Amino acid sequence: MKDMNDMNDIPPVSERICLIIHPNPIVAEDLSEILHGYGLTGKSAETLAAIQPLGACGPALVVADMRLEDFVAFDLARKWLELGVPVILLRSWSEGAAVSPSGIHYLEQPFRTEDVVALLQHANVI
């Protein structure tokens, strides 16, 4: 799995790139395969720090594991939302897929394909 420390080659949002930040490469690959089935390209990173340098040319979607650093995940998620980038935070203690009042989407791990697709539809990504 590629660590995305050098973010200079990230294409504009229009190219349907989705950033997946998860420490488990198998989970990241599962998400990437689901996204690919809907015409999206998943780019994987293993740390939340990888999304900080993207700025305004960021992805069409960010999917991040909350367990990496909960307080950082929320702060960065809010920044992405301000840029109009939908955010799905993966967590292991929820009751399935959900959307918070802040607009951050949550997905329980382990996830089902149907739950991922429902959140992608709700976020208007597919």
Name the pLDDT band for 15 (thresholds 50, 70, 90).
low
pLDDT at residue 124 greater than cutoff 50: yes
The pLDDT assigned to 95 comes to 54
Site of tokens 């069409």: 60
Number of domains into which the chain is organized: 1
43 occurs within a structural domain: yes
Span 8-30, average pLDDT: 74
Looking up residue 25, the CATH number of its domain turns out to be: 3.40.50.2300
2 occurs within a structural domain: no
Range of the domain at 50: 13-122
Strand pairing partners for 17? 41
pLDDT digits (tens, 9 = 90+) for 59-113: 888 888 877 655 466 777 788 888 888 888 888 765 556 666 677 888 888 899 9
Strand pairing partners for 43? 19
93 occurs within a structural domain: yes
1 occurs within a structural domain: no
48 occurs within a structural domain: yes
30 occurs within a structural domain: yes
Instruction: Please give the torsion angle defined by the CA atoms of residues 112, 115, 120 and 122, in that order, rounded to the nearest 10 degrees.
Output: 180
Report the alpha-carbon distance of residue 49 to residue 76 in Å, rounded. Answer: 9
41 occurs within a structural domain: yes
* pLDDT averaged over every residue in the chain: 75
Considering the entire predicted model, what is its pTM?
0.74
8 occurs within a structural domain: no
